[in-house]
Structure formats: C-alpha cells, structure tokens
Chains A and B, each alone.
Chain A
Amino acid sequence: MRRRDFLKYTALGSLSTTLANCQSSGRWQPAAFRKKSSSRVAVLTAKGYDQPLKDVLLRGIKLCGLQVKGKRIVVKPNLVEFDPKGVINTNPTLIEAAIDAFRTLGAAEVIVAEGPGHRRDNEYLLSASGLYAVLREHKVRYVDLNSDDVRATPVRSSFTNFKQLYLPETLFNADLLVSMPKLKTHHWAGVTLSMKNLFGIIPGTVYGWPKNILHWQGIDNSILDINSSLPLPQFAIVDGIVGMEGNGPLQGQAKNAGVLLFGDDFVSVDASAARLMKLEPRKVVHLAKADAFLGNLASERIEQIGEKLESLQQDFDIIEDLKDLKTLTG
C-alpha cells in the first residue's frame, strides 16, 4: 500500500487532516498581512541564454512597475550546490543581465548574496558556476549570507516553532530583495521557486548545514515563516529558460522552457510557474497555505501580462510520490 493510500484510509490520515485544518487558523495575525485584490505576473519568452536578456529583463521589470532608482538591491540567485553535468543554479548570464538592468534603471547598488545550503565553499561555487567572472567583471559585491552578521527578527507567522529568526544584516541594510530561482521541481516540496529559494537567506553558521533544522520544522512550514518575516520589499525573477524536472532540486534533468517570470507577489509568481510546469499549485502545500495570507494563488486573482501562460506550458516530470501534483484543478 502506498503512503498516500494508507493515509487516505486510516486514522492517521484523519488526524493529519484535522491537524492541517487546525493549522489553517491562528497561524498569522490577520492585521499584519494585507493581500492585494490582484497581483501582476509578467511572463516573457527568452529562448536561450545567448539572447539579449537585459532587454527582456527591462521589459519584465517595466511591465511589473518595479521602481529601483536609488535603491540598494540584494540579488539572491539559487546557488545551493554545483554539478557540472546538471542545471541546478540560476544561470550566471541571467544574473549578469539583471545586474546590468538594475544599474541601467538607476539602482544605487546591486549586491549578489547567497547562503548555500549544501556546499558552502563560496570560492568553488562561484568559480565553477561561472558567477565569479561576472561579479569580477562588473565589480559587484558578493555577500556570503551563511556567515554574515545577523539580527534577530520576530517570525510573523507560526507554522514552525521559531519565535524569531536570525537573518543576515545585509537584508536589513537593503531596500529590495530580488529572488532569482531556477524553475525546478523539488522531491519534497513539489516545486522550488522564489519562496523556497529564500532558504538561502538563512545563515548556516547559526542554523547549520544542510539547513536541516528547517527540514525538522517542516519544509513547507519553514518556507511560510521565512517568507512572512522578510524585513524588506521583494521581487522575483524566475529563470525558466532552462529548468529542471524530475528529482529536483539537485539531480533532475534539464528542461528547456524558454521563459522568464516576474512579479512582486511570490505566491502569484510561484503559482504561475507551477502552472507553467503543468503542476497544480493548490496541491503544493506551502503555496496553498500562503494563498490564505501572503499572496494570490488563484488564476482569477493574477493579472497575467506578457505572453499567454497556456501557450508556454511544458509538461515537467515529477517523482512518483508527487504525481498527484500533475492533476490540474484550475
């Protein structure tokens, strides 16, 4: 009997449903979160990394109405690990284009920052991934969020037992956090996109590696509490030019999707990205829960601009245990 079947038919299944229902209420202070009536997500095509990506990024940023003039921006790519045969990381060419675009738009400073969750040898990760050459050429400061100074900040929702989180000081000294994840499936969380990418802002020197304490608290719960507690405004640019399907986030296969997604509501951006992969966002636990207080998941509450999402949808494979996510409900 499969676990999911077992849970359907047993008391444990009922218990988990009851617990899940209990979790839906009282986990956040309603007054602290005001969802917008609708959120804008821009979907733009970019066939390859050799295209003029800066132009696409400028268009996406403009379509979303993001203002960056005079702001200090922290760009947070996904650099969790490196595999020369894989497509784990946000492509450095896209990061380079983002740096260029933000500077063109008048950003006061662009910083690239990451706190890798597995391999935290920065010199290796940056060199092997090709990002070091980009940072050097453009004279961009890199901050290792794993070992940055930290500041305690209260957790504004209570899906985990954390009452406070130590977050990197760099975030408190910036005006905007730009999450730049890779479009990937994830063998536990279903998808890893702009919300899950923020595991990388959790400092490893405080919480250890492989950020395991977040797993003990529940991956979805941790994603929710981290995202609810960010001390600065945020924006997402999802690298879906080449994504990853199957056994993500590390060992899946490359999937050409030729797309970039933009938006300031991470729930909307990630829900759109899930739909793009033909995965049902309502079945991704952290997205379904985030819909209640952090952002908009429902299609009718997302103003899709740029290309039509339906015309760009790709059938991303996912591990057997998560095949249920492939059943789209709308």
Chain B
Amino acid sequence: MALQALAGGTSADKRRRGIEWLVRRQNPDHSWPLNQTVTAGSWTTALAITALGASAEHSERLHAAARWLLEQEGSKPGILAEIILWATGQSGVNKLSKDLIGWSWVPSSFSWVEPTSYALIALKKQRLHLTGTNVDERIREADAMIYDRMCTGGGWNYGNSKVLDYALWPYPDITALALIAMQDHASEKANQDSLQVLSKTARETDSGLALCWAATCFNLYGRDPSDFHKQIEKRFAASEFLGETKTLALAVIALGGKSNPFRF
C-alpha cells in the first residue's frame, strides 16, 4: 500500500515487484496466509485486497478473494459456552453485544474491531463488484458491530468498552482505523465524537504508529493533518519508529497526500 501511495516513476518497479510478491503468495482458495509458517487463510486477506485494489489486471483475483472474505465470520458463544461463561462469572462482564457478527482474528472465534475494520475497508472498496453476494448485509451488520464496541464518549480499543463495570479507554491507532472503515458515515455523531477523541489522544501519544493512523484518517475526513505531519517527523527523529516496517509504511501513506489507499 505504501508503494502504491508513492508517486513518481522511480518507485514503479518496486510497486510491480511488491504486487508480484503478493500475487505469488495467494492461497489456492484465494485467501492470503499470515506468513510462510502459518499458511491458512487469515485476516491479512483483507489487507491484501486493499493493497491490490488499484491493480486492474488482478481484478478477478481480487473479487475471488473478496468472496472468500465474505464467507468468513466471527462466531458467537454457543449455549454450552454461555453456561460456562455464566458459571465462571464472565457472561455479563462485558458491555458488548455477542449477537453482532463481524470478522475475527482467528477462524471460528469472536469478532473484534481491527479485523472487522480491515474487512470493511476491503469490501467497501470492492462492493460494486460483488453483486449477487451478501455483501450489503455483512457490511450493515459489521457497521453496527463497530458502533456497538465504541468506548463511552467515542473512540475504540481492540473491541471492549467495559469490563466488570469499569470503562476501558480508547486507543488512537485503533480509533483511526475504525473511523477509516466507517468513513461512509462521516456525519454520524459517533464518528464526530470519535474524531475529537482521536485528535486529543493522538496528540498526547508518543507513537509514530498512532500519529500515522491519525493523519491518514484526518486526510480521509477532510481535516487538516499538518499538525500530525510535524509530530510524525519529530517522532521519527526521536525513535525511527523502532524500525517497524508497518509504521514506516503507514508514514509513507500518511504523508503521501491524496493517494490514500484506504479511501472508498
């Protein structure tokens, strides 16, 4: 995605090699694995779809992957699990609705904010090519799930707003990601409240990752990200983002201007 966001002819060859690398690693069932050791289809499929979204020559491959993604869904506890949760005192400890289904990190497990957000971004970008599928229904329910997991006052963490009556706090990186996934509901109060939370928490956070996500999100919501850009430069000077490739790639996207791969 970062290579796609880079403008200019010098990166064209690198973009092509990046795309070829990604295409070679697609599983026969059209999903993408986490890595060479864990080869089953994973949450990274949504990211791969978003990354390849601009490559017209791979459209068939992309649509097949999107269909694979639509077949995946988070699960909810069965009756036995509910009994065990109740018996061990864990059934009512969270505020969240267990009935709203999004996407999980691991097959056959619970839905969480990040894999659901990644899936929403990928599917909302590919939506027009998914006629005859349940894409609209899945998106509607996943949108509701994201709002259900919002922290009191706005913003998101991994996906739990309350435990044992104690409010949990939002994280700027995940708040930005969820807002990006919900950019088609920009005027909703929940989005606006969460943008305020993001603005405050990202500024207070010594983290290139959080700042890059925040700048990328502000760019999509038509807000001025220039303050974040300055902070990103300062953080890089201070820590070089700990050498994390993920943050470096996000910095390229955050500072890259209009070619935002998360836009739909």
Q: Which of B152-175 contact A (CB under 8 A)?
A: 157-160, 163-164, 166, 169, 171, 173
Chain B minimum-CB-distance residue to A135: B242
A124-B209, A127-B239, A132-B239 known; A151 and B105 CB under 8 Å?
Answer: no
The answer on a CB contact under 8 Å between B239 and A213 is: no
Contact flags A235-261 to B (C-beta < 8 A → 1, else 0): 000000000000100010000000000
How many positions in chain A have a CB within 8 Å of any CB in the partner chain? 39
Given the known interface contacts A119-B171, A151-B37, A188-B90, the answer about A216 and B158 at a Cβ–Cβ threshold of 8 Å is: no
CB closest chain-B residue, reference A144: B244
B148 in contact (CB, < 8 A): no
Q: Does A149 contact B37, Cβ atoms closer than 8 Å?
A: yes
A-B contact pairs, 19 of them (CB 8 A): A7-B87, A12-B87, A118-B158, A119-B157, A123-B242, A124-B207, A127-B207, A152-B37, A166-B38, A188-B89, A206-B38, A207-B105, A208-B106, A208-B109, A209-B105, A210-B158, A212-B105, A216-B81, A247-B166
Known: A3-B87, A123-B244. A149 touches B35 (CB 8 A): yes
Interface residues of A in 141-173 (CB under 8 A from B): 142, 144, 147, 149-152, 166
B32 is an interface residue with CB less than 8 A from chain A:
no
Q: Are A128 and B206 in contact (CB under 8 A)?
A: yes
Chain A residues engaging chain B, CB cutoff 8 angstroms: 3, 7, 12, 16, 83, 118-119, 121-124, 126-128, 132, 142, 144, 147, 149-152, 166, 187-188, 204-210, 212-213, 216, 247, 251, 319, 321
User: Chain A contacts of B171 at CB under 8 A?
Assistant: 119, 121
A149 CA to B37 CA, complexed, in Å: 8
Stretch from B9-17, B110-118, B128-136, B216-224 that touches the partner: B110-118
**Given A127-B207, A188-B90, 12 more pairs with CB closer than 8 A:** A12-B87, A121-B209, A127-B239, A128-B205, A128-B206, A149-B35, A150-B37, A188-B89, A204-B105, A208-B112, A208-B115, A216-B110
Contact of A247 among B86, B160, B164, B210 (CB under 8 A): B164
B-side contacts of A127, CB under 8 Å = 206-207, 239
| Minimum Cβ distance to chain A for residue B109 (Å) | 5
9 pairs of A and B residues whose beta carbons are closest in the complex: A208-B105, A124-B207, A127-B206, A123-B207, A209-B158, A251-B166, A321-B89, A121-B209, A121-B207
- Assembled-state Cα–Cα distance A207/B105 (Å): 7
Complex interface bits, B60-100 against A, C-beta within 8 A gives 1, otherwise 0: 00000000000000000000010100111110000000000
The reply on B104 being an interface residue by CB < 8 A is: yes
Residues of B contacting A144 in the complex (Cβ-Cβ under 8 angstroms):
244
Q: Total A-B residue pairs with C-beta atoms closer than 8 Å?
A: 99
- Interfacial residues of chain B within 202-218, with CB under 8 A of chain A in the complex: 205-210
What class of interface size applies to chain B in its complex with A? 35 or more
Does B34 belong to the interface (CB within 8 Å)? yes
Please name all residues of chain A whose beta carbon is closer than 8 Å to the beta carbon of B264 when the two chains form the complex.
none
A251 to B164, CA, bound (A): 10
Cβ–Cβ < 8 Å partners of A118 in chain B: 157-158
The majority secondary structure among interface residues of chain B is loop
Q: Contacts A123-B206, A123-B235, A210-B158 given: A12-B244 contact, CB under 8 Å?
A: no
Q: How far is the CA of A180 from the CA of B114 in the complex (A)?
A: 29
Contacts A123-B242, A142-B242 known; A187 to B37 CB distance under 8 Å?
no
Q: Do residues A212 and B109 form an inter-chain contact, with CB atoms below 8 A?
A: yes
User: Which residues of A lie under 8 Å from residue B4 when comparing CB positions?
Assistant: none
Contact of B83 among A12, A142, A187 (CB under 8 A): A12
CB distance from A189 to the nearest CB of B (A): 11
| B247 at interface, CB cutoff 8 A | yes
Q: Which of A16, A126, A166, A188 contacts B37 (CB 8 A)?
A: A166
B241 at the interface (CB under 8 A from A): yes
CB distance from B174 to the nearest CB of A (A): 9
Q: Are A150 and B35 neighbours in the complex by a CB distance under 8 Å?
A: yes
Partner of A213, one of B88, B89, B109, B242: B109
Return A266 CB to nearest CB of chain B, in Å: 23
Contact residues in B for A212 (Cβ distance below 8 Å): 105, 109-110, 112
- In the complex, the answer to whether B164 meets A123 with C-beta atoms within 8 Å is no
CA distance A123 to B164 in the complex (A): 29
Residue numbers in A under 8 Å from B90 (CB-CB): 188
User: What's the Cα separation between A123 and B239 when bound, in Å?
Assistant: 8
Query: Which A residues touch B244, using CB under 8 A?
Result: 122-123, 144
Residue of A nearest to B245 (CB): A147
Contacts of B205 in A (CB 8 A): 121, 124, 128
Minimum CB–CB distance for A250 against chain B, Å: 8
Please give, as numbers and ranges, the residues of chain B lying within 8 Å of A147 by CB-CB distance.
246
Per the bound structure, the CA–CA distance linking A151 and B247 in Å amounts to 25
Q: In the complex, what's the smallest C-beta–C-beta distance from A77 to chain B, in angstroms?
A: 16
Contacts of B241 in A (CB 8 A): 123
